[in-house]
Amino acid sequence: MSNKSLNNKFLDSGFGYSTIQRPFSFQKIAPIIQSLNQHAGLAVLDLGCGPGVHADYFTTHNYTGVDLNPAYIESARKNKSGEFIVGDVCNSDSILAERRFDIIISNSIFHHLSDEQVVATLKACQKLLTEAGTFHLVDLYLTERSPSLSNFLARIDRGTYARTFDNLHSIVAPYFSDFTSSTFRLSFAGVKLWNMAYIRGTMGKLHS
């Protein structure tokens, strides 16, 4: 087995992913937490929730996580509080049927999705988000500056659809009625690693 597939096998387990993510989990959720109105009991949907790495920040909310990887969901059900569902986020409107959410989070998943899958996911979310609800997107992005450590890390990621900030913006913009965006860096031991985008908004009318 190659080093890459051994590495992916470890990351595909709930334990492996949670361990690797430990130094970054708070950094990745911080912009979302800071922007939220912390009303307990709001319905939160976490798309591509992994083994529930962010679930602990929403224990006073009504939290639901969806992920394609059954091992992650099994780990989340054992170790976290909330509801965890195995499923494809592109079909989250049919998985979650008539349910509505005040907050939808998409953290570090869009670089795992093709443009078509991103669009299907956003369309599903337009149905699932309440009128006053907010969508929170965090994802890595590629910079023009190459070579860079951030670009290198994005290129060797398991997700094969890393995009530039402008590209990410242009794909998601039609599905928001109003949004703001910012950038930040994930770091470890003082070393700056991934470039991250944070896009927060309300969602527009349904697109056909």
Site for ligand SAM in 40-79 (CB under 6 A): 48-50, 53, 66-69, 72
Judged by CB, which is closer to ligand SAM: 90, or 205? 90
DSSP class of residue 206 equals: P
Question: Which residues, at least 6 apart from 6, have a Cβ–Cβ distance to it below 8 Å?
Answer: none
Judged by CB, which is closer to ligand SAM: 89, or 129? 89
| Residue 155: CB minimum distance to ligand SAM, A | 14
Q: Does 88 bind ligand SAM (CB under 6 A)?
A: yes
Question: Which residues, at least 6 apart from 63, have a Cβ–Cβ distance to it below 8 Å?
Answer: 44, 46, 55, 81, 82, 83
The two tokens of residue 172 are: 């998601």
- Structure-token match 């949907």, residue found: 45
Query: Given the DSSP bridges, would you call strands 101-107 and 191-203 parallel, antiparallel or unpaired?
Result: unpaired
Judged by CB, which is closer to ligand SAM: 56, or 88? 88
Closest CA to 193 of 137, 156, 152, 163: 152
Q: Does 90 bind ligand SAM (CB under 6 A)?
A: yes
> Among 42, 109, 172, 186, which residue interacts with ligand SAM (rule: CB under 6 A)?
109
d(C-alpha 95, C-alpha 112), whole Å = 20
**Site mask for ligand SAM (CB under 6 A), range 136-175, x = bound:** ----------------------------------------
Q: Does 27 bind ligand SAM (CB under 6 A)?
A: no
Judged by CB, which is closer to ligand SAM: 20, or 178? 20
Question: Which residues, at least 6 apart from 24, have a Cβ–Cβ distance to it below 8 Å?
Answer: 186, 188
Judged by CB, which is closer to ligand SAM: 13, or 130? 13
| Residue 175: CB minimum distance to ligand SAM, A | 17
d(C-alpha 122, C-alpha 135), whole Å = 9
d(C-alpha 47, C-alpha 61), whole Å = 16
Judged by CB, which is closer to ligand SAM: 91, or 177? 91
Can you say how many angstroms the Cα of residue 62 is from the centroid of all Cα atoms in its chain?
18
Give the footprint of ligand SAM on this chain (CB under 6 A). Answer: 21, 28, 48-50, 53, 66-69, 72, 88-90, 107-109, 112
